[in-house]
Structure formats: C-alpha cells, structure tokens
Amino acid sequence: MTQLDALKQFTTVVADTGDFNQLAQFKPQDATTNPSLILKAVQKADYAPLMTDTVTRFKGRALDETMDRLLVRFGCEILSLIPGRVSTEVDARLSFDMAATVARGERLIALYHAEGIHMDRVLIKVAATWEGIQAAQALEQRGIRTNLTLLFSFCQAVACGQARVQLISPFVGRIYDWYKKSAGSNWNEAAHAEANDPGVKSVRDIYQYYKHFGIATEVMGASFRNIGQITALAGCDLLTISPDLLAQLAASDAPLARALDAGAGLDLPAAHFDEAGFRFALNEDAMATEKLAEGIRAFAVDAVKLEQLMLAV
C-alpha cells in the first residue's frame, strides 16, 4: 500500500491545483483552486484555449463577470474528474467587503447552476477576515457552503466555527515559513519537524478544539511544504495537497498511521469572539496578521495578472 492509499483510510484527500489533467492519476475526492493556481494553469498550452474560448464567448461583459465564468469553467472541468466538491475562490480584492463577497459568492453558485452543477458540489472560498467570515455565515444561511482560506490563527478558527461555515483551510506551510524566517540562523529543522512543526501544531490544536466542543466545521490542512507535515496530520478531516506532494506520497510505501485523535481533546475553555475581540486577538498574533495580509495581497496581484491576460485575448 502506498502512503497515499494509507492516508485515504484516515483522511479525505483533496487535490490543490488548477491543472485538472493531473487529477486522474491521484483519484482525489475533492479539489481546490485559487487565483494563483488558475493563473499558472492558463499560461500552459493545454489550458490557454479554455481561457480564450471563455473570454471570446463573453466579450463585452464586465471583466469581473468574465473572470468568474473562467473560474467556473475550470471548476466544471475539475468536477467532471472527481466525485466530490470543488472550491472556487471569491476575488481577494473583496476580502474586506462583506456585501460584495456575498454577492460574488451567489453569482458563482448561479453560474455553476447554469452549467448543471448542484450547489452541494461547490464550496465558495473566502479569506478568513472578519468581513469574510460574516459573509460566509450569510452564504451558509442561504444554503451555499463555504471554505474559509488564508487561516493562520486560533481566533480565525473559533470565529469560523461560530459562523458555522462548512470548512476551514489552515495554512500549514505558510505558518512554518514565518517561524523559520523569524528564527533565522537559530532555526533547528530537526527540532521543528513533523509533529513539532508550528504549522502542524496549529492545525492539530484547531482540530482537537473543534472535536472537543462538537463543532461541525470540517478542518482541511493546506499549504504543505513537505511530506512530513502531511503524515503528521493523517486523520485530519481533509488535507489539500499539491500534485508534486501527491506524487511523492504515491511513490512511497513507508508505513503511515493515524496521527490525529478526535478524542484527544485539549485542556482549553470554550472561546468566543465578537468583532472587537477577534480583531484584537488577530492583532496580537504577528504571524497570522502578517501572513493573512501577505496572502490577500498575493492573490490580489494574481487576480490583476489574470485580468490582464484576459484583456489581451
């Protein structure tokens, strides 16, 4: 049995890619995309015609609508290859606008519906800002399921649980990156590997908190840098993994056992955050504050680049 097969016994495996031609070999249940992955895909010869066709068909429409149609086109192609759900992301430039995020999420679902895709197969991906979390709550109340991304802190996870969102995506690798950079020459890779990785510990704490307090929101570890981070989270509800790391798991037959225990429970009191408390708690976490802002900026830059490619068609 490969490590990938073993992992699938404990965890729902999700492919993190816009390159849907890679999906068949790994047989993931679900798939996730983001603006950076779509941008990378449309610059490949295999996918450029898909963008050209979409832009040409909807020439004259507002650019933001055409971009959403392109995202949905990729999502539909992905859904034809997997049995589960696809995550499609709301424009990161709307991360601090609750009403606009709700409207964009509703439009994405409407576009999927027009293509014959039931809303249960789509997760609307939203940045885990305060406004994003409130938008997700509003979407959930309309029956639209959400995936809260760019999640780096415990307070973000608690607020998402309060909002009863469907799923959260805590970013393991980016947390690891921040602590490694912060430590500089004092970083000890061996001492911070696998279960001691700061990103892994963050996800483990969130997972155990949710299970302890019966929070139904699914936990999906994301943004992995190495196989050790993945195997240390075997047993998490879901893990979204890049094709390169999926290939490494598929090529290894090293033993893999469940690492997370839903019954382990942390010795933590129940937490609750209103807006002021959330903003203060996030502000107190330098890593989460910096990585959230950095992530939004990077996705916004790639959204602009994607628009420029579309305008050139």
* Residue showing tokens 């033993």: 255
Q: What is the pLDDT of residue 265?
A: 62
From 8, 44, 125, 201, active-site residue: 125
Residue 267 has pLDDT above 90, yes or no: no
Residue 2 has pLDDT above 80, yes or no: yes
User: What does pTM read for this prediction?
Assistant: 0.96
Longest dimension (CA), the chain: 57
- Per-residue pLDDT of 59-82, as tens digits, reads 999 999 999 999 999 999 999 999
- Per-residue pLDDT of 11-63, as tens digits, reads 999 999 999 998 989 999 999 988 899 999 999 999 999 999 999 999 999 99
27 in catalytic set: no
CATH topology of domain 3-311: TIM Barrel (3.20.20)
b/e code 74-85 from CB counts within 10 Å (16+ = b) = bbbbbbebbebb
Domain boundaries defined on the chain = 3-311
* Residue showing tokens 């996030």: 282
For the segment 270-283, the average pLDDT, to the nearest whole number, is: 97
The two three-digit tokens of residue 257, written as one number: 């056992």
Q: Are 19 and 39 within 8 A, CB to CB?
A: no
